Each structure stands twice: as structure tokens, then as C-alpha cells.
Amino acid sequence: MPTTPDLPRTAGYKPALAAFAAGAAAWVYVLVSLGAFTTTINAGMAFPDWPLSNGSLNPAGWLTHLSMFAEHSHRLSAAVMGILTVALAVWLWRTESRAWLRRLSYFAVGLVVAQGVVGGLRVLLDRIRVPALGTSLGQIIAMLHACLAQAFACALLALAVSCSRGWITTPMPVRGRVRRIGVACCALLFAQLAIGAVVRHSFAGLAIPTFPWSTPQGGLLPAQWGFQVGIQFAHRAMACVIAVAVAVFAVSVWRDRGASLGMRSGASALVSLVAFQILLGASIIRTYRAVAVTTGHVLVGALTLVTAFWLTWLAHRDAIEGAPAP
């Protein structure tokens, strides 16, 4: 029986692969959006079983019941995400000569599998209470689930960018200062999103019910402390740190002669996203966690991280591809 010859591995631009990688990266945002909405309306336990929903792939009533629709749509979108990630890894394994890019795709597969397992444990272990934190083991696992989602989004973005025409054909002689500040910003943003996940899943969103001050009398520090108040205050304090760090990062990109017009525009967008995110955070307090505002806060937070990561990944382009450092 004749066999199909293996496809040659190359590092050149492949339009179909680039489009598929971009589509997979875009689907991450669909998944994050559905997850954020599900958490905001407290629908994470709409179905007490996993991986099926009430024992079915098509549970009765899920199209008409909001909580069931949110949770089951999230599960279905996660399944699609898993298929897309595996398909992208196989495609890269068959056609891509850059070993580091193939390894990155395998890492993304590992992340999406881990994310699915952690999501399942969040459901199956929700019955176990953790009195010291006033929550359940499932909610604690949900915090990890949220953090893994952000790491996975960055991995898919890196794959998509590395398959693009611009990455393959255009050097990016950005100075080391930009790269270092970018890494620091990404670390701070990831830490902030992790703190935010703790705030959401420990129900501390309104632990400090005033903004920007911590008391109705205008006090900078809360009058009384506890776990929920402490984590909410840490979230606000980190926002101030990030605002300064992002401003420094943006200025460093604007002033770097090796940065492209796209990077400079991205730096401007990043500053705008941080400002908008702070506004949404204030609106959460003032609207008593309105669903649209709270969900939007999560989505803009994720978009802020991936924007900072995109800029940082581009800044490392020449180092990753082995080009001489500027």
C-alpha cells in the first residue's frame, strides 16, 4: 500500500498555519469570556458532575436556563479549545522546523489538559469545605483554574505570533531594557490576576465597599482587617504598582528606536487598557458587582496581560530566533 510522504519541515511563513494559529488564539478569549460570565453569575456548579453535564453532552434545559447555559457553553468551548490546541501541535510537529516552537505547542497541549482536569476537580471537590477561608476546596481550585487560563492564553498567543509573517520576516532589534521591563510587567500583571482570582472566588469583591478610599470617612487603610479585606486591599495596591510599571514600560517602548510602529501602538493601547481596567474596578464597587461590569473587568484584565505579553514576546523576537542582540 503506498504511503503518504512526510511533509518537509520548514521555518518559513505558512499562511494556512498562521491563520489556524490566530484562530486558536482568538478562541481562547471566547473561552475566557464564558468562564468569566459563568463565575460572575455564580453558575460554576450548575451541574454537579463532570465531564458530562447531568450525565449528558446535551443536558435537558441548558438552552433555556441561564446558569446551565453559561456553564455548559463553557464546557463545550473548552472541548473545542482542546481540539484546536492538539490540532495546532500536530500541524507544527509535521511541518515546523523550529524545535522550540514545536516544544511550545506541546507545552500548550499540557496546559489545556491540566486546565480541563483542574476545571473538573473544581466541580467534583466543591462539596469539601475549608472553614479557615470561609469557602470550599472547589473554589480554591477555581483560583488555580483562573491562573492557568491566563498562562494558556499567553502560550497560544506566542504560538500565533511566532507563526505570523511579521515575526518570520521582520527583525526586532529592541534593547534589553525593554525586554527586562516587559518581563517585570508581565509578572506583575499575572500576580494581579492571581490576586483577582482569589478576590472573586473568596467572595471579597465588596469587602471594601468604598472607592478610591478604604473607608467612608476617606481613610487610606481599612478600619477593620480580615482575609477578605486584606486580599481586596492587596488587589487595589497592586493596581497602583501596575499603573506605574506599565507607564514605564510604555515609555521605554516609545523611546526605543528598534521598536516597530505596531509595538508603539500596542504600548499606547496597554496604557489605555490599564486606565480602563481601573475604571471598571471602581465601577464594580459603585454598581455592587453588576454582571456586565464585573465580567468586563475580568476580560479587560486578561486582555491587558496578553497585550503586555505580546509586546514582551515581540521584544524577545531576535533573541528567540537567534539573531544578534542589539
241 φ/ψ angles, rounded to the nearest 5 degrees: -60, -45
Which of 36-40, 83-87, 242-246 has the weakest average pLDDT?
A: 36-40
Confidence of residue 1 (pLDDT cuts 50, 70, 90): very low
For the chain, the domains span: 14-169, 171-326
User: In the predicted model, is pLDDT for residue 3 greater than 50?
Assistant: no
- Domain 171-326 matching CATH 1.10.10: the answer reads no
- Distance, CA of 280 to CA of 193 (rounded, Å): 14
Mean residue pLDDT of the chain comes to 91
- Distance, CA of 63 to CA of 263 (rounded, Å): 42
Give 108's Cβ-side CA count (13 Å radius). 31
53 φ/ψ angles, rounded to the nearest 5 degrees: -115, 110
Mean pLDDT of 152-162: 97
Mean pLDDT of 194-221: 89
Confidence of residue 135 (pLDDT cuts 50, 70, 90): confident
Q: Which amino acid makes up residue 151?
A: A
The pLDDT score that the predictor gives to residue 325 is: 42
The pLDDT score that the predictor gives to residue 289 is: 87
Judged by DSSP in three states, 10 sits in strand
Judged by DSSP in three states, 172 sits in coil
The sign of the torsion formed by the CA atoms of 202, 147, 281, 236 equals positive
Confidence of residue 153 (pLDDT cuts 50, 70, 90): very high
The pLDDT score that the predictor gives to residue 323 is: 60
The answer for residues whose C-beta is within 8 angstroms of residue 44's C-beta and 6 or more apart is 38, 71, 122, 123, 126, 138, 142
Mean pLDDT of 263-291: 94
CB 134 within 8 A of CB 198: no
Long-range contacts of 256-265 (CB under 8 A, 24+ apart): 256/174, 256/175, 256/177, 256/178, 258/172, 258/173, 258/174, 258/175, 258/326, 259/172, 259/174, 259/178, 259/315, 260/170, 260/172, 260/314, 262/166, 262/314, 263/172, 263/174, 263/311, 263/314, 263/315
User: In the predicted model, is pLDDT for residue 31 greater than 90?
Assistant: yes
Mean pLDDT of 160-175: 92
Cis peptide upstream of residue 48 (ω within 30 degrees of 0): no
Taking the CA atoms of residue 299, residue 198, residue 54 and residue 84 in that order, the dihedral angle to the nearest 10 degrees is 40
Confidence of residue 7 (pLDDT cuts 50, 70, 90): low
Q: Is 282 exposed, middle or buried (CB count within 10 Å of its CB: 0-12, 13-18, 19+)?
A: middle
The pLDDT score that the predictor gives to residue 6 is: 54
Mean pLDDT of 209-236: 90
56 φ/ψ angles, rounded to the nearest 5 degrees: -145, 155
Percent of the chain with pLDDT over 90: 76
- Distance, CA of 195 to CA of 290 (rounded, Å): 20
